[in-house]
Amino acid sequence: MAAITTGRYGFALLGVIQAVLIFTITILTVPLPLVAREFGLGPSGVLLLSAAYGLSFSSLLLLGGRLTDRHGGRLVLRTGLALLTVASIACALAPGYPVLLASRFVQGVGAALTAPAAVALVRALHPEPAAYRRAMATWGGLSVLGATLGSVLSGAVAAAVSWRWLFAVPVLVALAGLARSAALPATLPAAAPTGTRPALDLRGAALATAGLCAVSYALVASTEHGWRSPGTYGPLAAGLALLLAFVAAERRTADPLLPPGFLADRRRATALAAVMATAAGTALTFVLLSLHLQQQRGWSAAATSAAFLPYAAVLLLAGRLAGPLSVRHGPVAVTAGGLAVAAAGLGLLAGLTPDGGYALGLLPGLLLLPAGAAAAFAGAAVLATGGVPPERTGLAAGVFNTAMELGPTAALAALMALAATRPTVVGGYAAAFAAAAAGLALTAVAVAALPRTTDLTASEHTNRIKEFTS
């Protein structure tokens, strides 16, 4: 009984930490115009500030996963939380834009260490395959919940006191994680088992980090400068070259950072596509509706946050149901169904008009989208991390979180470029919602075509281990 209680407590702690990592991405989304006015930022400054956390987070996740597999979840988790604490305090106290920008980047570094370590510790808490699948089904909905709470609370807090107080949340949660993780030595192992630690592969880590960072920056920069600008195609070309060099280097490395066979699994690759599409759809909704309500309709930041309250309520309910549904009906069915429902929600938002009402114009889509997103994330988390040997749990978590971060970055760049081709702002937003809905619908079809089995036989598991470690 004590072990069960400790396991539940440990999972709750890790779940809150995961939600807050994603919460921290979105806490400046709604109050960003207030920050820009305070520091006198132009479009380029706003662009960099909005992307800094996500750039370092997504670019360093593979390295964070490798460090987790090498040194164990508890050590890497505590290191990441310590960085997150210091950087969050620096954000709250930042006297100017350079300090805030640098602190947001360091926050992302801390998150990149913390996220894969947390998943590895979930695996330690739930070593049995069935229990781990149930845990990951719940885990999948925590990220979208964190993003939603960040967007909902940020406007209200910024309007009531100051945007600086938003950083109190990651500080308090990180401190709680640091204090409590040391109290769970029985269920949160301090290091990887002797003899199973992979090599660090610093060359691969450097190439992957630099490549992902450059590509992500280019995608974000394209929304302001366009694709023909040297500020866009220069970093994009450099990033793609670095990623090609990473792939070539990994094929010659005895213990690669990302084993070539890891993404060859059809179920895993399709699940990661579902994660990217769902994360992109939800991020697009927050960004575009926040801009639309404040810039076209003149709503305040607090009123904009309030508009997402029904979204958050549905997400909470759907998140509680998604995990059990994934266990009962299988992750393939739940992921495909969730994607279809989310696509329907985005399709309704594609009917956006300059003078449309909230109750009939926006609310139906804001109710369907979170219901589908919660289910899609829950099922995709199981598909993306299932069948992974314990010594590669950090890698699986790093890849999963990388997909979650890169999805919004790439989609926002492409869809904002699409929106810019329309003669009106609102028409462009509607076109972006329609394209996102189509993307989710196509991904739902791909997921539905996957085989429904989730369990591996002993021989299949052995072959999978050989595949990942070869």
Residues 287 and 218 in one domain: no
The per-residue DSSP string of 340-369 comes to: HHHHHHHHHHTT--TT--HHHHTHHHHHHH
What CATH number does residue 57 fall under?
1.20.1250.20
Q: How many residues does the chain have?
A: 470
Here the tokens at position 40 are 């006198």
SS3 453: coil
Tokens at residue 182, please?
């040391």
What is the DSSP secondary structure assignment for residue 293, as one 8-state letter?
I
Asked whether residue 218 falls in the same domain as residue 189, the answer is: no
Low-confidence ranges of the chain (pLDDT < 70): 1-7, 43-44, 181-199, 223, 391, 453-470
Q: Are residues 242 and 282 in the same domain?
A: no
Report yes or no: 76 and 42 within 8 Å, Cβ to Cβ: no
**188 and 236 in one domain?**
no
Q: Which residue type does 146 have?
A: G
Backbone angles phi, psi at 453, to 5 degrees: -70, 145
Residue 162 three-state SS: coil
- Alpha helices, DSSP H, located in 72-201: 73-93, 97-125, 129-160, 168-181
pLDDT at 397: 78
The residue out of 252, 267, 290 marking a domain boundary is 252
Say yes or no: 235 and 381 in one domain.
no
Q: How far apart are CA 363 and CA 99, in angstroms?
A: 38
Q: What does the pLDDT read at residue 463?
A: 44
Which of 144, 218, 151, 147 has the alpha carbon at shortest distance from 413? 218
Same domain? 179 vs 319: yes
User: Which pair of tokens denotes residue 142?
Assistant: 């925590």
DSSP string, 23-89: HHHHTTTTTHHHHHHHHT--HHHHHHHHHHHHHHHHHHHHHHHHHHHHH-HHHHHHHHHHHHHHHHH
CB 23 within 8 A of CB 169: yes
* 163 secondary structure, DSSP code: G
Domain count, the chain: 2
Are residues 263 and 237 part of one domain?
no
Token pair, residue 424, equals 């009106």
Task: Please state, rounded to an integer, the average pLDDT across all residues of the chain.
Answer: 82
User: Rounded to an integer, what distance in angstroms lies between the CA atom of residue 326 and that of residue 445?
Assistant: 18
* Separate counts of helices (H) and strands (E) for the chain: 18, 0
| Contact present, 32 and 155 (Cβ < 8 Å) | no
Are 385 and 456 contained in the same domain?
Answer: yes
Q: What is the pLDDT of residue 197?
A: 63
pLDDT at residue number 310: 93
Residue among 153, 167, 411 nearest 282 (CA)? 411
451: left (phi over 0), alpha (psi -120 to 50) or beta: beta
pLDDT for the residue 453: 59
Q: Do the beta carbons of residue 238 and residue 207 sit within 8 Å?
A: no
Are 273 and 134 part of one and the same domain? yes
> Are 447 and 387 in the same domain?
yes
Instruction: Count the Cβ atoms, other than its own, within 10 Å of residue 361.
Output: 15
Domain housing 72: 2-201+253-469
Q: CA–CA separation, 157 vs 35, rounded Å?
A: 13
Name the domain boundary from 231, 252, 273.
252
Rounded Cα–Cα distance for residues 18 and 112 (Å): 11
Question: Is the distance from CB of 134 to CB of 126 less than 8 angstroms?
Answer: yes
Residues 330 and 441 in one domain: yes
CA distance 422 to 408: 21
Q: Which is nearest to 327 in space by CA: 239, 451, 241, 454?
A: 454
DSSP state of 193: P
Contact in structure between 334 and 140 (CB atoms under 8 Å): no
Interatomic CA distance for residues 373 and 281, integer angstroms: 9
Nearest 5°: the CA angle 132, 138, 142 is 130
Q: Which two tokens stand for residue 362?
A: 């926006």
Is 321 in the same domain as 411?
A: yes
